[in-house]
Amino acid sequence: MRRFFRIILLSLLWFVGLSLAWVLIYALVPPPTTITMLTDSRGATRDWMALSDMDPDMARAVIAGEDAKFCSHRGFDTEAMGAALLRSMAGNGRLRGGSTISQQVAKNVFLWQGSGAISRTLRKLPEAWFTMLIEGIWGKKRIMEVYLNVAETGIGTYGANAGAVRYFHHDASRLTRQEAARIAAVLPLPKERRAVTPRGFTRRYGNSISARMQVVERDGLDSCLR
């Protein structure tokens, strides 16, 4: 038993040390790839762009659409997580809607995708750990920068800049409010939605995000990025 616990302790120490080093490296250099990109059968088109070069409306769009409390929480939105759990317990579909942008970065960059119950359960603790690490080491600007460069924005397309080129034929440095909102509207289901001439729910959702972006700017919900 003593040997068993020693192996467990050493394994935990190795995990902590390696994960810290990994996060520190990515605080300075762009992540070269992710598991999602490596396993994408359509390939992975991406073009890294610094947050400072990207139109501010792109960050406002994802805050409006994905995580309104991004600048005020420390990685976890407990209110949203509780609401998502209540919806699941009430039988209104699978558990969803509780992940912050920070949690999505932790999952996308350091872990794996997968919505099955087993996959989510195995991922829960390391996702929380990496979320706390990037919040403490990277800070909000770096988290947003990485998110906007690794998030899937279309079939085989990753990052807002590659998405802007694909959909609007110019880079993400000069997005209009509507263009940024349309890219953000694609994010929840990037393989099924399109930012050009969107229809139905995607069009309505994009219009909703565009309206909320004005609130984000007016109320300083993006203040941590300025």
Instruction: Write out pLDDT tens, residues 22-56.
Output: 999 999 999 999 999 999 999 999 999 999 999 99
In the block, tokens 């953000």 appear at 184
| 209-225 pLDDT per residue, tens | 999 999 999 999 999 99
Residue 5 has pLDDT above 60, yes or no: yes
Residue 77 has pLDDT above 50, yes or no: yes
Three-state secondary structure of 156-201: CEECHHHHHHHHHCCCHHHCCHHHHHHHHHHCCCCCCCCCCCCCHH
Model-wide pTM > 0.95 = no
% residues pLDDT > 70 (the chain): 92
Distance between CA atoms of residues 117 and 56, nearest Å:
36
Domains and CATH numbers, the chain: 2-225 (1.10.3810.10)
| 98-132 pLDDT per residue, tens | 799 999 999 999 998 876 777 778 899 999 999 99
> Of 217, 149, 222, 139, nearest to 183 (Cα)?
149
The larger pLDDT score, comparing residue 130 to residue 95, is at 130
- Contact indicator for 94, 115 with CB cutoff of 8 Å: yes
pLDDT of residue 119: 75
Element (H, E) at 106: helix 101-110
Total Cβ atoms within 10 A of residue 31: 17
Residue 92 has pLDDT above 60, yes or no: no
